[in-house]
Amino acid sequence: MSRFLEIVRTFGPYAAIAACLALLSSTCGRAKTAEDALARRTEADEKLKGKFNVATLEDVADAADKLLGADATLRAQKAALERQVGKVKIVRVVEWRTLEVPATGTAVPCEPGGPACVLRLGDKLRARVPEIEVRTGKGNDVGLGHALVERTTPSVALLLDQPFEAPLSSSSAAAPEAPFRWGAGAWGVLSTRGSMAGAKVDFPPVRILGVLVEVAAGPGGGPGGVGIFGSVSGRWR
C-alpha cells in the first residue's frame, strides 16, 4: 500500500496535467469541427435561398397553431393519426414554396364546345407544400402534409391539392445518434494540502424531469492524501 501511495504521489500530478491537456485538446478539436460544420451549413443555406423561396417557421408551437388553424387538410390528417396512435407532439413545422413560373410545354387545344381551359401557356404557377412532423408516444416521427399547385395569373385558381400518400412516397433520414454509455477518464485536484489524481468511471447519463444528469466517481491519491472523487452534473436545453 505504501509503495502504491509513493507512486501516486510521484506521478499523480503529471497524470492530472496530462488529462487536463488531453481534455482541452479534445474540446478545441470539437469546437473547430462544429465551427466548420456551421460554416458549410450556412453556405448551403445561402445557395438554397438563391433557388427557392423557403419559409421555415421556427417557433414550432405558435407556427403549428397558425398553420393548423388555417389548414383543414392538416387538421384532418393529425386527427386521423391520433385516432390510431393516441396523442402526438408536433416537433417541426415547415411550409415549402416555389417561385412563380410560367406554364410551359406542348399546348393541347381545348375541346370545341367544351369547358374553358384552366391553364394556358404563359400562365403563372407556383407550388406550396405545408408539412408538420409529429412524434408519437413511442418516439416515432411521422410526416403529415399535402401538396398544392396554384395558378396565380391571370386569376388565382387551385389546380391540385392532394395529401401525402405513404404507399406512393419515400423518405430517408439519418439514424439517431446512439445514446452515451459508460465512460472512463482521469481526474486531478490541486489544493493547499497537496495534489491528488486518479481514475474515474462515467456512468451512463439519465434524464430526470427534462434534465440530463451525469455522474462520475473514482479513487485516487497523492501528497494531499487518499480519497474517492465524485461529481454530479446536469444539462438541459
Q: Which residues pair with 194 in a beta bridge?
A: 191
- What SS3 class is residue 199? strand
Taking the CA atoms of 213, 219, 221 and 225 in sequence, report the sign of the dihedral they define: positive
Cα-based angle 179, 183, 184 (whole degrees, multiple of 5)? 170
**pLDDT tens digits, residue range 89-106?**
888 888 888 888 888 877
Q: Which residues pair with 142 in a beta bridge?
A: 134
CA 189 – CA 220 distance, rounded (Å): 10
- What SS3 class is residue 179? coil
Answer yes or no: are the C-beta atoms of 195 and 224 closer than 8 Å: yes
Distance of CA 16 to the CA centre of its chain: 36
Does this model's pTM top 0.75? My answer is: no
Grid cell 479513487 in the structure block, residue: 219
Residue 200 confidence (pLDDT) above 80: yes
Between 10 and 29, where is the model more confident?
10
Answer yes or no: are the C-beta atoms of 103 and 122 closer than 8 Å: yes
Give the percent of the chain with pLDDT over 90.
6
Paired sense of beta strands 183-191 and 89-97, if any: unpaired
Choose among 171, 142, 163, 168: nearest CA to 81: 142
Query: How large is the average pLDDT for residues 55-84?
Result: 81
Answer yes or no: are the C-beta atoms of 97 and 55 closer than 8 Å: yes
What is the reported pLDDT for 30? 46
Distance of CA 63 to the CA centre of its chain: 17
